[in-house]
Structure 1
């Protein structure tokens, strides 16, 4: 058995910089035709010069692979002129609440104040991508942010708002209520729950933010994905950290799945008898909703056992060493 995917896309990807970029970017470029690149570097990608330099570094790292980095800007108090100049170079602007995740210390301190910039994005037709968590109890952080999404969906009805890496059944229900709300979901949140992370021995390589939730949340996410919800797309949130930052006191948040995401999800779609919907979830929905045309690339998945490597350089992937039933052909 095999599956042929046309121009698969990763709509939420961390590539880092320097040596880490050189190590991980080729792994995404091999099997994806494009990805939405996160801007939370140090310093953040929050101006056009910085964005162009970063994009050039990505292209340099991937060689001749047919791969498009769809760039984003880190949300700050932009002028309308700045956004107009950047519009042709970006797929959206990413909002991080201050201090909520990796390298977000310079993020938004006041969501109300951010609405001035958000209104400019709506006028200019630039999508808003959001890391939607508060500083509440860790299991409730996404749920607490849903009221913000609802308010913005109503206040900015012409704005495409993307709820990044959703993790709860409540987020799926909200997605169904507003046509201008969109979402991405990760490999790990489709496959694991908090019990996998911390129910036995703590697995640092499954620890990420937002944290994995309950079985009923995973079930809702899987149902939306395998049925190719028209405003839901795959976004790996693949976040590489060196081994020394994961297997340590103060473990960094992030799960590395870039080289294995397509294989892992093939098993999920097959188990639910929904392989026909896989193309929409990993490409067609995103192309339609963002009005993008990625480079042409065909990726073949074959029903052949594959053992996930124990490491890619200094980065340990999700389920390292485990045999899975699907391989890249």
Structure 2
């Protein structure tokens, strides 16, 4: 199987030593990725975008990889947005406190609307972590009304529902022309039962939390059919092992090193191998109007033993740690 210029449309690379550990793992096999801005402090100025991009480029070395940068949502003037537009792929909105490093996020959508209006005028996409602060299994479903409000109030604004987890969100994709979505690897594979149905598995705990079997089925069906408004976004979110295997477990699943291999297996097993290219790259290129660097990744049905951890400084545990998966990357031509 050959994948051309695979893209990860939602990626956490962190910063500092962690960036040094995980950056190359995405840059090796992916042609580009949408980089999340929820650092400490958040990336909410153009100079911070430039500085962070520079650190990413230093960390990935010679790998052919385009980091599509984002700004952390706050109130922006028209002048700030005009200056930022050539250097970013969009602006990421986090409800305050909804997930890791989101304390500086938005507390009320109506207060955010003047900036959103300016974004619409300039054609800057809005990327949203769509959860309320309600009961954990209902947070995404409750947020769908906000998506409806934004889609109708700002009909020319391109809105990406990040890491959708419910059948209701899949249905919403077809209701509004300006709504799009990303979905993660883990949400195509697991339910809440895998996280907490037996012994708690902290390395599968993420936000939004995995949902019900019927939600997973709807997400998987849309991905396998390469729904034209759905893109792969790993939300690969590395945390040191000691911050996952502890009280107050950090939210995030680390999938960067195994995402393409597992997707190849998943699509092939379901008789949809021909749709993986659209899901992993073509849809995103069309939706965002990007042309990523050329890269050909050849995958083969050969067992791959997933390491127990990645990195020496603060080891990170990947999904399927210590297990053998069915597909391997045979070669990368860039």
Could you tell me the TM-score, scaled by structure 1's length? 0.99
Q: Name the SS for the 1:300 alignment partner.
A: strand
Q: 2:119 aligns with which of 118, 121, 124?
A: 121
The Cα of 1:267 is off from its aligned counterpart by: 1.3
Alignment partner, residue 3 of structure 2: 5
The Cα of 1:244 is off from its aligned counterpart by: 0.7
Alignment deviations for residues 135-181 of structure 1 (CA, whole Å, 9 cap, x no partner)? 00000000000000011111111110000000000000001111100
Q: Name the SS for the 1:12 alignment partner.
A: strand
**Structure 1 residues not aligned, in runs of 5+:** none
Q: What is the distance in 2 between the residues matched to 1:73 and 1:59?
A: 17
Q: 2:177 aligns with which of 179, 182, 207?
A: 179
Tell me the matched-pair count: 327
Q: Name the SS for the 1:139 alignment partner.
A: coil
Q: What is the distance in 2 between the residues matched to 1:294 and 1:236?
A: 17
The Cα of 1:10 is off from its aligned counterpart by: 0.2
Find out whether 1:42 has 2:40 as its counterpart. yes
Alignment partner, residue 213 of structure 2: 215
Could you tell me the TM-score, scaled by structure 2's length? 0.97
Alignment partner, residue 312 of structure 1: 310
Alignment partner, residue 75 of structure 2: 77
Find out whether 1:327 has 2:328 as its counterpart. yes
Equivalent runs, 1:1-329 vs 2, <5 Å: 3-313=1-311, 314-329=315-330
Alignment deviations for residues 282-310 of structure 1 (CA, whole Å, 9 cap, x no partner)? 00000011000001100011000111111
Q: What is the distance in 2 between the residues matched to 1:193 and 1:261?
A: 18
Q: What is the distance in 2 between the residues matched to 1:116 and 1:252?
A: 33
Q: Name the SS for the 1:138 alignment partner.
A: coil
Alignment deviations for residues 214-237 of structure 1 (CA, whole Å, 9 cap, x no partner)? 000000000000100001000000
Q: What is the distance in 2 between the residues matched to 1:210 and 1:107?
A: 16
**Structure 2 residues not aligned, in runs of 5+:** none
Structure 1 runs of 4+ aligned residues shifted over 4 Å read none
* CA RMSD after TM alignment: 0.5
Q: What is the distance in 2 between the residues matched to 1:216 and 1:165?
A: 16
The Cα of 1:61 is off from its aligned counterpart by: 0.5
The Cα of 1:319 is off from its aligned counterpart by: 1.6
The Cα of 1:13 is off from its aligned counterpart by: 0.2
